[in-house]
Chains A and B, each alone.
Chain A
Amino acid sequence: MAHAFGLLFSGDPETWGIIGRSLIFSGLATFFSLIPGIPLGIFMAWKGSKPRRALATFIHAISALPTVVIGLFIYSLISRSGPLGGAGFLYAPAGVVIGQFFLATPLVASVTYAGVSRLDTRFKETLVTLGASPWLEFCATMREAKTTMLTSAVLSFGRVIGEVGVSTMLGGNIRGFTRTMTTAIALDAAKGEFEQALSLGLVLLIISVVINTAANRLADHA
């Protein structure tokens, strides 16, 4: 354990590279996932019509899919032998970010959906009565459900930074390129280097605590 801390604070550039890569890949994936995820969630929550409820069920179902399944789908798309193979995304950072994006988006949509559904129905009715355009309605809902959006971002960041299936399958765990905290932990544990693995595990724990604390603070102020 002492050795684990030592590794961390000795400023080993490889370890810090791994940590930085994890944060950047997962940060980007989360950021991009908010763009379609939030509108999708709001759209699902607005009216309780049948197709929308079906969509919501579908989104809930995917947000519970194991990461390796998502990884497999994306793999078949971005492999050279797949339809999007020409871009060379597989075994590159782009592959990891794309995979994590598809992991995060349904989760963002689900959480947004749940949050917006809880808003007072009179809120929406008032907007409609006042003759708000759908766009204005959308913006007003976003403002009203700020905390929800934040929660969805934190939750999906938490999911993608802690996942190992997509990162391994699409990134290939390439040293200095696509190796992230979780794939490094898996590799270290596989090699029996538990101290190294443990030190990265500690970092993940710290990140998780920091992010959740910050999110709680922000939610209190929002």
Chain B
Amino acid sequence: MKSRISIIFMIAAGLVLGTVPSAWSQNQRIKLATTTSTEQSGLLAWMLPVFEKQSGYKVDVIAVGTGASLKIAENGDCDIVLVHARSLEDAFMAAGYGSERRDVMYNDFIVLGPENDPAGIRNAGSAIEAFSRIAGKKAVFVSRGDNSGTHVKEKEVWQAAKIIPAGSWYKEAGQGMAQVILMAGQMGSYTLADRATWLAVKKQSPDLAILFEKDPVLLNPYGIITVSPEKWPSVNVAGAKALMDFFTGPTGKGLIESYKIGGEQCFFLSI
């Protein structure tokens, strides 16, 4: 019996050691820390296989929020980040953690809510007005609450509206974008979402609708930043550069423009 078990473990160990050597060496792998929106919308699954085939690199995607992505980069645990919160990105660059930053694409944020729109934001003149009405009615609002790019934008709008969101109507979920949309659908509440993730999960949230959109304040630009090898000599400089060139080069741009969910384009090229 003992020998049988040890044989099973030997086989398992052999499998791991035999198949993984390429996986354990770091230089053909690129660690990309990014926001949940790029992964959950399906964009990365659309783009990365093309890059991997072209370049021979393997991209490991760690999908967290923008805040967490930049933190991972600060700790030297990834090679490159694809994020959307300009204020945090600028702080990251200023602190010397990034070696280069480029604009990649943008999409926009939308305010989702229950079809019957209890706070009446459908005809609001601006995002600030829409948020003010939600707060005024104390209509339930689900916030990402995770320092993600979406959360940062949401806080900017509250601030511009001179509202400190607090109270039982304001729920901080601390979860990814898709999850928060689903929660909002279940709770019949409002939330701020990026359009791409909304398109990707909309069929699971039939009770929600876009109630407010198209305010320039709600533009959502994405930037790509390579991690500075001066801070972290361990980063895959060549790989990160190749991925950055791909995202901002003709092939990447073509893929971004042609990515559609249910016939709708999700991301638009930065001008």
Q: With a CB–CB cut-off of 8 A, which chain A residues contact B99?
A: none
Q: With a CB–CB cut-off of 8 A, which chain A residues contact B205?
A: 192
Which of B80-88, B102-110, B175-183 binds A? B175-183
* B 166-200 contacts with A by CB, 8 A: 175-176, 178-179, 182, 200
The smallest beta-carbon distance between A95 and chain B, in angstroms, is 10
Q: Are B24 and A85 closer than 8 Å at their CB atoms? A: no
Q: With a CB–CB cut-off of 8 A, which chain B residues contact A27?
A: 8-9, 12
Q: Are A190 and B62 closer than 8 Å at their CB atoms? A: no
A222–B4 CA distance with the chains assembled, in angstroms: 13
B145 at the interface (CB under 8 A from A): no
Q: With a CB–CB cut-off of 8 A, which chain B residues contact A28?
A: 9, 12-13, 16
Q: Are A80 and B178 closer than 8 Å at their CB atoms? A: no
Q: Are A174 and B13 closer than 8 Å at their CB atoms? A: no
B55 at the interface (CB under 8 A from A): no
Total contacting residues, chain A, CB less than 8 A: 29
B60 at the interface (CB under 8 A from A): yes
B151 at the interface (CB under 8 A from A): no
Most buried by A among B75, B175, B182, B204: B75
Q: Is the interface of A mostly helix, strand, loop or mixed?
A: loop
The smallest beta-carbon distance between B80 and chain A, in angstroms, is 13
Q: With a CB–CB cut-off of 8 A, which chain B residues contact A81?
A: 74-77
A216 at the interface (CB under 8 A from B): no
Interface string of A55-87 (1 = CB under 8 A from B): 000000000000000000000000111000110
Q: Are A80 and B179 closer than 8 Å at their CB atoms? A: no
Q: Are B1 and A222 closer than 8 Å at their CB atoms? A: yes
Q: Are A173 and B182 closer than 8 Å at their CB atoms? A: no
Interface string of B52-87 (1 = CB under 8 A from A): 000000101111000000000011111000000000
A81–B75 CA distance with the chains assembled, in angstroms: 5
A27–B12 CA distance with the chains assembled, in angstroms: 7
* B 1-28 contacts with A by CB, 8 A: 1, 8-9, 12-13, 15-16, 20, 23-24, 26
Q: With a CB–CB cut-off of 8 A, which chain A residues contact B12?
A: 23-24, 27-28, 31
The smallest beta-carbon distance between A218 and chain B, in angstroms, is 6
Q: Which of B9, B23, B74 contacts A31 (CB 8 A)?
A: B9
Q: With a CB–CB cut-off of 8 A, which chain B residues contact A218?
A: 1
Which B-chain residue is minimally distant from A172 (CB atoms)? B62
Which A-chain residue is minimally distant from B178 (CB atoms)? A191
A23–B15 CA distance with the chains assembled, in angstroms: 11
B40 at the interface (CB under 8 A from A): yes
Q: Are A92 and B24 closer than 8 Å at their CB atoms? A: yes
B232 at the interface (CB under 8 A from A): yes
Given contacts A174-B60, A191-B40, contact A31 B76 (CB under 8 A): no
Q: Are A192 and B201 closer than 8 Å at their CB atoms? A: yes
Q: Which of A79, A173, A175, A192 contacts B77 (CB 8 A)?
A: A79
Q: Are B178 and A192 closer than 8 Å at their CB atoms? A: yes
Interface string of A25-67 (1 = CB under 8 A from B): 0011001000000000000000000000000000000000000
A27–B5 CA distance with the chains assembled, in angstroms: 11
Q: Are A86 and B16 closer than 8 Å at their CB atoms? A: no
**3 tightest A-B CB contacts, nearest first:** A80-B76, A192-B204, A172-B62
29 interchain pairs (CB within 8 A)? A23-B12, A24-B16, A27-B8, A28-B13, A28-B16, A31-B12, A31-B13, A80-B75, A81-B74, A81-B75, A85-B234, A86-B234, A88-B26, A88-B234, A91-B31, A93-B16, A93-B24, A172-B60, A173-B63, A177-B58, A189-B179, A190-B178, A190-B179, A191-B40, A191-B179, A192-B178, A192-B201, A192-B205, A218-B1
